[in-house]
Amino acid sequence: MGRDFFKELFKAKNWNRSSLLVFAGALGLFLLLAGNAFPAESSSRETDEPQSTADEAAYVQEYASNLEQTLTGVIESIQGAGHVKVAVTLEAGPQTVYALDETDRGENGSEVQHILMEDSSGQSALVEMVWEPEIRGIAVVCQGAADVQVQAQITEAVSVLTGVSSNRISIAKMNESEGT
Protein backbone atom coordinates (compact mmCIF):
# COMPACT_ATOMS: atom_id res chain seq x y z
CA MET A 1 0.00 0.00 0.00
CA GLY A 2 2.06 2.85 -1.23
CA ARG A 3 1.32 6.24 -2.65
CA ASP A 4 -0.13 4.74 -5.78
CA PHE A 5 -2.91 3.04 -3.79
CA PHE A 6 -3.99 6.33 -2.18
CA LYS A 7 -3.76 8.20 -5.49
CA GLU A 8 -6.05 5.63 -7.09
CA LEU A 9 -8.39 5.66 -4.09
CA PHE A 10 -8.93 9.41 -4.21
CA LYS A 11 -9.42 9.74 -7.94
CA ALA A 12 -12.86 11.14 -8.71
CA LYS A 13 -13.82 8.31 -11.07
CA ASN A 14 -13.55 5.70 -8.26
CA TRP A 15 -16.10 7.48 -6.04
CA ASN A 16 -19.78 6.88 -6.69
CA ARG A 17 -22.67 8.22 -4.65
CA SER A 18 -22.95 5.25 -2.29
CA SER A 19 -19.20 5.26 -1.62
CA LEU A 20 -19.35 8.95 -0.72
CA LEU A 21 -22.28 8.37 1.65
CA VAL A 22 -20.50 5.47 3.37
CA PHE A 23 -17.32 7.52 3.71
CA ALA A 24 -19.20 10.56 5.06
CA GLY A 25 -21.10 8.35 7.55
CA ALA A 26 -17.90 6.68 8.75
CA LEU A 27 -16.20 10.05 9.12
CA GLY A 28 -19.17 11.44 11.07
CA LEU A 29 -19.23 8.41 13.38
CA PHE A 30 -15.50 8.76 13.97
CA LEU A 31 -15.89 12.44 14.88
CA LEU A 32 -18.75 11.67 17.28
CA LEU A 33 -16.76 8.96 19.04
CA ALA A 34 -13.63 11.11 19.16
CA GLY A 35 -15.62 14.01 20.63
CA ASN A 36 -17.00 11.84 23.43
CA ALA A 37 -13.59 10.37 24.24
CA PHE A 38 -12.33 13.72 25.54
CA PRO A 39 -14.30 15.34 28.38
CA ALA A 40 -15.39 18.95 28.10
CA GLU A 41 -13.15 21.51 29.75
CA SER A 42 -15.83 23.28 31.76
CA SER A 43 -19.03 22.04 33.29
CA SER A 44 -21.34 22.87 36.14
CA ARG A 45 -22.51 20.95 39.15
CA GLU A 46 -25.08 21.72 41.77
CA THR A 47 -23.80 22.65 45.19
CA ASP A 48 -25.56 23.70 48.33
CA GLU A 49 -23.13 26.33 49.56
CA PRO A 50 -25.09 29.29 50.91
CA GLN A 51 -23.15 32.51 51.29
CA SER A 52 -24.29 32.76 54.89
CA THR A 53 -27.13 31.31 56.91
CA ALA A 54 -28.38 34.80 57.84
CA ASP A 55 -28.54 35.83 54.17
CA GLU A 56 -30.29 32.57 53.28
CA ALA A 57 -32.85 32.93 56.08
CA ALA A 58 -33.62 36.51 55.04
CA TYR A 59 -33.96 35.45 51.40
CA VAL A 60 -36.30 32.56 52.27
CA GLN A 61 -38.44 34.83 54.46
CA GLU A 62 -38.67 37.47 51.73
CA TYR A 63 -39.46 34.84 49.08
CA ALA A 64 -42.29 33.35 51.19
CA SER A 65 -43.65 36.81 52.03
CA ASN A 66 -43.71 37.88 48.36
CA LEU A 67 -45.43 34.62 47.41
CA GLU A 68 -48.03 35.09 50.16
CA GLN A 69 -48.76 38.65 48.99
CA THR A 70 -49.13 37.56 45.37
CA LEU A 71 -51.45 34.69 46.29
CA THR A 72 -53.50 36.91 48.61
CA GLY A 73 -54.05 39.44 45.82
CA VAL A 74 -55.12 36.77 43.33
CA ILE A 75 -57.39 34.91 45.76
CA GLU A 76 -59.11 38.09 46.97
CA SER A 77 -60.06 38.80 43.36
CA ILE A 78 -61.92 35.47 43.12
CA GLN A 79 -65.64 36.14 43.45
CA GLY A 80 -66.94 35.00 46.83
CA ALA A 81 -63.54 34.59 48.49
CA GLY A 82 -63.84 37.69 50.66
CA HIS A 83 -61.04 38.64 53.05
CA VAL A 84 -58.02 36.30 52.67
CA LYS A 85 -54.93 35.27 54.64
CA VAL A 86 -52.27 33.04 53.09
CA ALA A 87 -49.39 31.17 54.72
CA VAL A 88 -46.64 29.45 52.71
CA THR A 89 -44.14 26.97 54.15
CA LEU A 90 -40.93 26.08 52.32
CA GLU A 91 -38.85 22.89 52.35
CA ALA A 92 -35.43 24.55 52.43
CA GLY A 93 -33.52 27.53 51.21
CA PRO A 94 -32.50 28.22 47.63
CA GLN A 95 -30.02 25.92 45.91
CA THR A 96 -27.25 27.60 43.96
CA VAL A 97 -25.51 26.08 40.94
CA TYR A 98 -21.97 27.39 40.60
CA ALA A 99 -19.95 27.28 37.38
CA LEU A 100 -17.12 24.78 37.51
CA ASP A 101 -13.97 24.33 35.45
CA GLU A 102 -13.02 20.69 34.99
CA THR A 103 -9.51 19.98 33.75
CA ASP A 104 -8.53 16.49 32.61
CA ARG A 105 -5.17 15.45 34.08
CA GLY A 106 -4.86 12.24 32.04
CA GLU A 107 -3.91 9.28 34.20
CA ASN A 108 -4.02 11.44 37.33
CA GLY A 109 -7.79 11.96 36.98
CA SER A 110 -9.38 15.35 36.68
CA GLU A 111 -9.37 18.54 38.68
CA VAL A 112 -12.53 20.54 39.37
CA GLN A 113 -12.43 24.17 40.48
CA HIS A 114 -15.04 26.88 40.88
CA ILE A 115 -14.83 29.65 38.31
CA LEU A 116 -14.09 32.82 40.24
CA MET A 117 -15.12 36.33 39.25
CA GLU A 118 -13.54 39.55 40.46
CA ASP A 119 -15.95 42.11 41.90
CA SER A 120 -15.80 45.11 44.22
CA SER A 121 -15.71 42.92 47.34
CA GLY A 122 -13.02 40.57 46.04
CA GLN A 123 -13.44 37.21 44.38
CA SER A 124 -16.65 35.22 44.34
CA ALA A 125 -17.80 32.06 42.60
CA LEU A 126 -19.66 32.51 39.31
CA VAL A 127 -23.33 31.63 39.85
CA GLU A 128 -24.93 29.85 36.89
CA MET A 129 -28.41 29.37 38.35
CA VAL A 130 -30.39 29.69 41.58
CA TRP A 131 -33.23 27.24 42.20
CA GLU A 132 -36.00 28.82 44.23
CA PRO A 133 -36.98 27.13 47.52
CA GLU A 134 -39.44 24.24 47.13
CA ILE A 135 -42.90 24.91 48.52
CA ARG A 136 -43.96 22.41 51.21
CA GLY A 137 -47.53 23.59 51.57
CA ILE A 138 -49.95 26.49 51.34
CA ALA A 139 -52.73 27.36 53.78
CA VAL A 140 -55.51 29.72 52.72
CA VAL A 141 -58.02 31.10 55.23
CA CYS A 142 -60.86 33.14 53.75
CA GLN A 143 -64.43 34.23 54.42
CA GLY A 144 -65.89 32.38 51.43
CA ALA A 145 -64.30 28.99 52.09
CA ALA A 146 -67.65 27.47 53.11
CA ASP A 147 -68.67 27.51 49.42
CA VAL A 148 -67.32 24.40 47.64
CA GLN A 149 -67.07 26.22 44.29
CA VAL A 150 -64.99 28.99 45.84
CA GLN A 151 -62.72 26.37 47.44
CA ALA A 152 -62.27 24.65 44.07
CA GLN A 153 -61.44 27.93 42.34
CA ILE A 154 -58.93 28.87 45.04
CA THR A 155 -57.29 25.44 44.93
CA GLU A 156 -56.98 25.58 41.15
CA ALA A 157 -55.61 29.14 41.17
CA VAL A 158 -53.01 28.37 43.85
CA SER A 159 -51.98 25.15 42.12
CA VAL A 160 -51.58 26.84 38.74
CA LEU A 161 -49.62 29.78 40.16
CA THR A 162 -47.22 27.73 42.27
CA GLY A 163 -47.08 24.27 40.71
CA VAL A 164 -48.05 22.76 44.06
CA SER A 165 -50.40 19.78 43.89
CA SER A 166 -53.86 20.16 45.41
CA ASN A 167 -53.09 17.74 48.26
CA ARG A 168 -50.59 20.31 49.61
CA ILE A 169 -53.11 23.15 49.61
CA SER A 170 -55.41 23.66 52.58
CA ILE A 171 -58.41 25.99 52.50
CA ALA A 172 -60.38 26.90 55.62
CA LYS A 173 -63.18 29.28 56.53
CA MET A 174 -62.14 32.39 58.42
CA ASN A 175 -63.57 33.17 61.87
CA GLU A 176 -66.36 35.74 61.78
CA SER A 177 -64.36 38.02 64.11
CA GLU A 178 -61.24 37.83 61.86
CA GLY A 179 -62.99 38.83 58.65
CA THR A 180 -63.85 42.37 59.66
pLDDT in tens, 51-82: 566 777 787 888 889 999 999 999 999 999 99
Residues 95, 147: one domain? yes
State the burial class of residue 68 (Cβ atoms within 10 Å of its Cβ: 0-12, 13-18, 19+). Answer: middle
Same domain, 156 and 126: yes
Q: Is residue 86 part of a domain?
A: yes
Write out the residue range of the structural domain in which residue 101 sits.
42-173
Do 126 and 65 share a structural domain?
A: yes
Is residue 148, in this structure, part of any structural domain at all? yes
What is the pTM (predicted TM-score) of this model?
0.56
C-alpha to C-alpha distance for 55 and 99, rounded to whole angstroms? 21
Distances (CA, A) of 3 to 6, 12, 65, 66: 5, 16, 77, 75
Residues 49 and 72 in one domain: yes
Q: Is residue 25 part of a domain?
A: yes
C-alpha to C-alpha distance for 115 and 163, rounded to whole angstroms: 33
In this prediction, residue 52 carries a pLDDT of: 60
pLDDT-derived band at 111, boundaries 50, 70, 90: confident
Mean pLDDT score, 1-10: 60
| 59 within domain boundaries | yes
Domain count, the chain: 2
- Identify whether 180 is part of a domain: no
pLDDT in tens, 82-93: 999 999 988 877
